[in-house]
Structure 1
Amino acid sequence: MKTKNTSPAFFAKTSCLLFFLVSLPLLGWSQDPLKMGQTTNEELNMKVYAQDTSAAAVVLYDYGHTSFLYTKGTQVQLKRLLRIKILKKAGLDQANISIPYYRKDFSNKEEVLELKGMTYNLEGGKIEKVKLDDKAVFEEKADVNWYVKKIAMPNVKVGSVIEISYTIKSPYLYSLRDWTFQAEIPVAWSEYRMNMMPFYEYTHLLHGFQRYHLEDMKVISQTIAFNWEEDMGHTSLQKCGSQVYKIAQYRWVMKDVPAFTEEPYMTGVQDYLSKLEFMLTKIQYPEREPEYMASSWDGLAKELQKEEQFGLQLQNTAGFKKTVDQATAASTDVLSKAKAIDAYVKNQMVWDGMNSFYSENIKKAHEAHKGSSADINLLLVALLREAGLDAHPMLVSTRSHGSAATNMPMLSKFNYVIAAVKVGEATHLLDATERELPFGVLPYRCLNGQGWVTNLPAGKWLPLKNNDRNVQLVSAHMEIKPTGEVTGKMEESYSGLSAHQMRASIKAQGKEDYLQKLTSKDPDWTRQEMNLANLEKHDADLKATYKLHRVGEAQPVHLLYVSPMLNHATEQNPFKLANRLFPIDFATPTDETYVFTYVLPTGYEVEEMPKGLNVSLPDNSARFSYLVQVTDGKLQIMSKLNINKPVFTAKEYQDLRELYSRMVAKHAEKVVLRKKS
């Protein structure tokens, strides 16, 4: 989508260059909040942070100030000053700082400017300063359009205070940068200010669970002086003027913000951090009609169709006709055509690991047999369309990127694209970035709420889910000997997403290395004669079979203690915190079933064994069952966990935590066998 770069009407002169000079007073500061070098002896002498004595580091001060510039069209400028105290050795990694910035193309990009850094230490009662060296600043390409300035602060040790300041200039008015008040370490003071010109109207939303310490807005009158050159044909005329405008000055502050702790079964932490988010909703320059920005999904859908790196890539697919004809030569119906094209793209293309929904050129990517998620999946859409199928791009926010905003048409909330193809009444969601993915199965990173299909007039939202459950079935037939030795054969079967994840892991490690690591995984158990079945049959269950052996004593023993779950017991509850504020996201429904049969040693009887257990959550959203029985000299154990919906609310956390606690306790119980007298 093109980014507009417009100046106010009274600045818009023929072939003119505008110089916009404005000085806006700050609110209530006795000293410059953006001035470096205000670190105190008290901060340097700090040994612990009183609000969190376990903290390895603390953000002492994080200040950001956004304003608008008109020197080169219209730009947004963010100035930031960040000061961090290192309290423990574990906090030293805070000295590695990353600054992400966006580049769509050479003329449409953000810039990181005025980068300065300083490390402060107390040496002999005096403050020692070490300046950041330019050689300690590196640039990396994080994604197709995202780059990162990586900074390694100098001379950092326990007790140091590090300080960094920088400016980001951006042409992207439509989506101001978020301001994040919370971090993985506690934040003593985080403040964000904005000087809002009257031409722009932004909706701002607060996310997370922390509340403001201060929130303020006041309006001041400000005289704006400006100069421009007016083209007079063979010469130019210098002109100047000024005008009084009302400027809205906003201030938001959070104080003593606790460290954010990542917990199991979460989507991206950006969904839960306390942050301020902005979206441009209206532009109204003097003497002009208001322009409403991305106020509807139909407006965004139309704009994407005209985007040269998105919709225009799909308008002329005739060049792919020969490719499509060859790929679908053996296809007899529409569904088989879709599957053939999906398989073709997966076999021909290699994903470079980059996430994007923009592609510079899908034809060049096809020729190179390599590309980003956008190159590959927009190519997939183009081939499906050339085959006559009803296919559209579907914008997605990956799990690490956070949730898409279904209530607001914000393009920045997406970072990925897949294909949605309709066959009959069914819509199949396809991602061709990974060869091991069966048709219609999305990778784990894409199972994140809903995705937006970009078809006209207004697109539509569809749930991001796989039709197949995530299923793991483990069975074993074992024999217990009087010495405590245990031998037998085990079979593990995986289907759905778990099968894909296993195949991807095996591919990454190599089959032989994977089997070797699996063989030596548990020191108490020996695996032998390992075999993998259906490794290349992506639509079939992946199976692993092997012999399992554990040594016993030299002589028969009077009492035998058997851990009936073998090496598959759930030993720890993943939900450790007493309370949780955010949802539990398993991504997909899951079944885990274990069926173990033991032949008991002759001359022994069961003295003690676990009792059966059935635990169900309301509406059968989750269930754990554990059955134990002895029949004809055989001990039979069945453990079954069913997670029947992908997402649980925070209100359901306590019930889910208790279910897992009871499962851990049950898996830890032993069977006691006594030798008959």
Structure 2
Amino acid sequence: MYTNVLKPWLVVLLLVVGVSTPGYSDNPFKMGQVTAEDLKMISYAPDTSASAVVLHDLGESSFSFTKGTQLQFKRIIRIKILKKNGLDEADFVIPYYVQKDGRREEVRNIKGVTYNMESGKQVKIELDDKAIFDEKRDANWRLKKLTMPGVKVGSVIELSYTITSDFIKLLREWEFQHNIPVKWSEYRVGMVPFFDYKQITYGVHPYHIKDAKIEHKTAAYSYTDDVGYAKVDKNGSISMAVVQYQWVMKDVPAFTAEPYLSSASDYISKIEFELSKVQYNDDQPPRYVSGDWESFTKELLKEEEFGGQLTNTAYLKKTVEGLVAGKTDSLEKVKAVMEYVKSNMRWNGKNSIYTDNLRKAFDNRLGSASEVNLLLTALLREAGVAAHPMLVSTREHGRPVMNSPMISKFNYVISYVSVGGKNYSLDATEQDLPFGMLPMRCLNGKGWVFQAPAGKWVPLTGSEKNAQLVSGNLKIQPTGEVTGALTEKYLGVPALQARSSIRNKGKETYIKEFANAGPDWVRKDVKIHNLENLQETLKTEYQLNRTGEGEPASLLYVSPMLTHALDENPFKLATRQFPIDFATPVDETYTFTYQLPEGYDLEEMPKPATVTLPGNAAKFTYVAQMINGQLQVVSKLNINKTLFEASEYGNLREFYNRMVAKHAEKIVLKKKS
């Protein structure tokens, strides 16, 4: 982190950024201004379904120079609890940064108050300092956690705190939108002329106020200078032009996660900052902090908690010798090492890019994604294989910013391996991952490979085929009973998901739950093949039975898709603001062959249908036909394009509507007179 100290010879630098607009109040919002109307409020008119609402949220960031250069962030938030399921809004988490050398951000002045109306009077319950807890999230981030006291439906809660930081790269971002509606959200930043920050905005909601004005200020400074062998404290003041930014959004609706949305963080309305340049005066050349991927790569490879973990790996030598003994083919060595890590290391479920101690993780056989996959990289290097760490942002974390390096935009590490002219992206966190396949969470744009001299972006796509193939031979009885043998085959992501489900539940429990196929349906004699052989197709075979009536019926109605019909459209909203991300192509094929009961005629069957989206982005075909005296039904779905823009949502929604309607159609058999 860049932590240069301000010197007294700094000159005034003026920034011209436009004209200020009216309405920038010096004191817009304070703790303790809860009104009777706030407490009596029973619903939020713009969204009566809201479980809670943010009444006011104010954040302010500024710079001070009395202890070197520091950032100060203050926040005050007021929330109204409207329903029981809004009580979780009383839980707060305040992240703050810590370096290994002991320097850390300080979280101070945490004050919380719960307001309730009791017997017509306002009652206040203050947050006890003993109810604030510290928790370690990873090597560099800690969390202050607290729950507001005495919260119930009808409460208004307020929280304020201050974070003081020596790390000027960490200018706080601001989220204007939350999972509950926001009545007023405001962020103010006083930018000093020595630092340039890029502003990155997200979301679709407009600003109610977007203002910038110049204020000429005098600021005190204090620093320690080296004079010979002595250290001398120096103090003074400087004048500067501070740009006071103000961003406000009001009446922001709750952010609602929609199906096939990779990450809320990519679309929620917010503003982020990236330090791009530091220049204390015109006589000094500017220091460019971001935008240089080569420097970013070199610095992180030297970072003790990242690349430094790969420099002293002699403790792995014996393990590697045993793994590659007798193997001359490099790919076989890679597979042996990969299998060893998957079998011997357990992922603790935490995503991280740093590690305190890779050897400790190895000895404990337990670690974060970073530790598991840095260990994989280290073992491969000991085996003589060209392996490099790759930074990834998981789908939940959001897409990385590709135009300039931002370490905060990554949260995961995998290993990038080059063998025999081919490249493989490897992740050893999951036991059920076939070689060369990435888990769904990693399929998120591109990853950054730390490969000399400058690193590179590599697409995060799997080479495996993703498919689900279901076939069955069935017999319809005059009573309406349906019996038959079915086979389900899974490849790629569907196979990984099925294997993980079986492993998590246990094979016996999984089969027991699988046997219950829903009302009237039972699966029997379930057999699972290739559960451990990850490179082969996962296959499930079983007998399917649907109960019938006590006597033959004059009309029989059969759902030809059995238990595999798509019975509802995942896209329920009439309109959508965000892209639709399937992550991987979809290939689903169902083929069912029916032996019809004697003495019955085929009265009605579904008509053939084909629905195709522009550019063959998706295609659905459905055919029901008589072949050699038997009825064959084939349903096939292909999603060939993994990312659809919001403008394509209407077509995609209608595409699924037609598929749902077609799957709902029945076969009608009539008894001969």
Q: TM-score range by the shorter chain?
A: over 0.9
Report the CA distance between 1:37 and its aligned residue: 0.5
Provide the rounded CA distance (Å) in 2 between the counterparts of 1:92 and 1:179.
23
- What does 1:414-563 correspond to in 2, within 5 Å? 414-563=410-559
What letter corresponds to residue 133 of structure 1 in structure 2? D
SS of 2:575's partner is coil
- Give the structure 2 partner of residue 6 of structure 1: 4
- Give the structure 1 partner of residue 120 of structure 2: 125
The TM-score normalised by the length of structure 1 is 0.93
Report the CA distance between 1:223 and its aligned residue: 1.4
Match of 1:625 among 621, 625, 628: 621
- Give the structure 1 partner of residue 634 of structure 2: 638
Kindly indicate whether residue 557 of structure 2 is the aligned counterpart of residue 566 of structure 1: no
Report the CA distance between 1:135 and its aligned residue: 4.3
Q: 1:381 to 1:205 in 2, by over 3 A?
A: same
- What does 1:10-159 correspond to in 2, within 5 Å? 10=8, 32-33=27-28, 35-105=30-100, 107-159=102-154
SS of 1:332's partner is coil
Report the CA distance between 1:548 and its aligned residue: 1.2
- Give the structure 2 partner of residue 372 of structure 1: 368
Q: Contact conserved, 2:180 with 2:255, CA < 8 A, in 1?
A: yes
SS of 1:109's partner is coil
Provide the rounded CA distance (Å) in 1 between the counterparts of 2:134 and 2:658.
49
SS of 2:625's partner is strand
Cα RMSD (Å): 2.2
How big is each residue's C-alpha offset from its partner over 1:245-302, in whole Å with a ceiling of 9 and x where there is no partner?
2211111111111111100111110000010010000111245332110221112112
Indicate the larger mover: 361-370 or 550-559. Answer: 361-370
Provide the rounded CA distance (Å) in 2 between the counterparts of 1:505 and 1:646.
24
Match of 1:290 among 278, 286, 289: 286
- Give the structure 1 partner of residue 348 of structure 2: 352
What letter corresponds to residue 3 of structure 2 in structure 1? N
- Give the structure 1 partner of residue 15 of structure 2: none
Provide the rounded CA distance (Å) in 2 between the counterparts of 1:670 and 1:555.
21
Provide the rounded CA distance (Å) in 1 between the counterparts of 2:83 and 2:440.
36
How many residue pairs are counted as aligned between the two chains? 662
Provide the rounded CA distance (Å) in 2 between the counterparts of 1:387 and 1:532.
36
Q: Contact conserved, 1:469 with 1:588, CA < 8 A, in 2?
A: no
Provide the rounded CA distance (Å) in 1 between the counterparts of 2:140 and 2:515.
42
- Give the structure 2 partner of residue 176 of structure 1: 171
What letter corresponds to residue 122 of structure 1 in structure 2? M
Q: Contact conserved, 2:66 with 2:221, CA < 8 A, in 1?
A: no
- Give the structure 1 partner of residue 579 of structure 2: 583
SS of 1:399's partner is coil
Q: Contact conserved, 2:259 with 2:571, CA < 8 A, in 1?
A: yes
Identity among equivalent positions (%) equals: 55
How big is each residue's C-alpha offset from its partner over 1:161-194, in whole Å with a ceiling of 9 and x where there is no partner?
1111112233332242210101111111100001
Report the CA distance between 1:88 and its aligned residue: 2.5
SS of 2:670's partner is strand
Report the CA distance between 1:443 and its aligned residue: 0.6
Gaps of 5+ in 1: 13-25
Match of 1:299 among 287, 295, 299: 295
The TM-score normalised by the length of structure 2 is 0.94
SS of 2:98's partner is strand
Report the CA distance between 1:551 and its aligned residue: 1.1
Provide the rounded CA distance (Å) in 2 between the counterparts of 1:250 and 1:269.
26
- Give the structure 2 partner of residue 669 of structure 1: 665
Q: 1:43 to 1:31 in 2, by over 3 A?
A: farther
Kindly indicate whether residue 239 of structure 2 is the aligned counterpart of residue 241 of structure 1: no
What letter corresponds to residue 456 of structure 1 in structure 2? A
- Give the structure 2 partner of residue 198 of structure 1: 193
- Give the structure 2 partner of residue 255 of structure 1: 250
SS of 2:342's partner is helix
Provide the rounded CA distance (Å) in 1 between the counterparts of 2:6 and 2:607.
76
Provide the rounded CA distance (Å) in 2 between the counterparts of 1:578 and 1:104.
48
SS of 2:157's partner is strand
Match of 2:272 among 269, 277, 280: 277
SS of 1:420's partner is strand
How big is each residue's C-alpha offset from its partner over 1:81-121, in whole Å with a ceiling of 9 and x where there is no partner?
11111222332222222223343436143333211111112
- What does 1:190-229 correspond to in 2, within 5 Å? 190-227=185-222
Q: Contact conserved, 1:626 with 1:637, CA < 8 A, in 2?
A: yes
Q: Contact conserved, 2:215 with 2:243, CA < 8 A, in 1?
A: yes
SS of 1:477's partner is strand
What letter corresponds to residue 196 of structure 1 in structure 2? M
Report the CA distance between 1:55 and its aligned residue: 2.0
How big is each residue's C-alpha offset from its partner over 1:382-436, in whole Å with a ceiling of 9 and x where there is no partner?
2222222222111100011111011121111000110111123321100011121
SS of 1:185's partner is coil
Provide the rounded CA distance (Å) in 1 between the counterparts of 2:166 and 2:338.
38
Q: Contact conserved, 2:342 with 2:429, CA < 8 A, in 1?
A: yes
Provide the rounded CA distance (Å) in 2 between the counterparts of 1:476 and 1:145.
54
Match of 2:588 among 584, 592, 595: 592
Report the CA distance between 1:363 and its aligned residue: 2.5
- Give the structure 2 partner of residue 16 of structure 1: none
What letter corresponds to residue 621 of structure 2 in structure 1? S
Q: Contact conserved, 1:175 with 1:412, CA < 8 A, in 2?
A: no
Indicate the larger mover: 50-59 or 314-323. Answer: 314-323
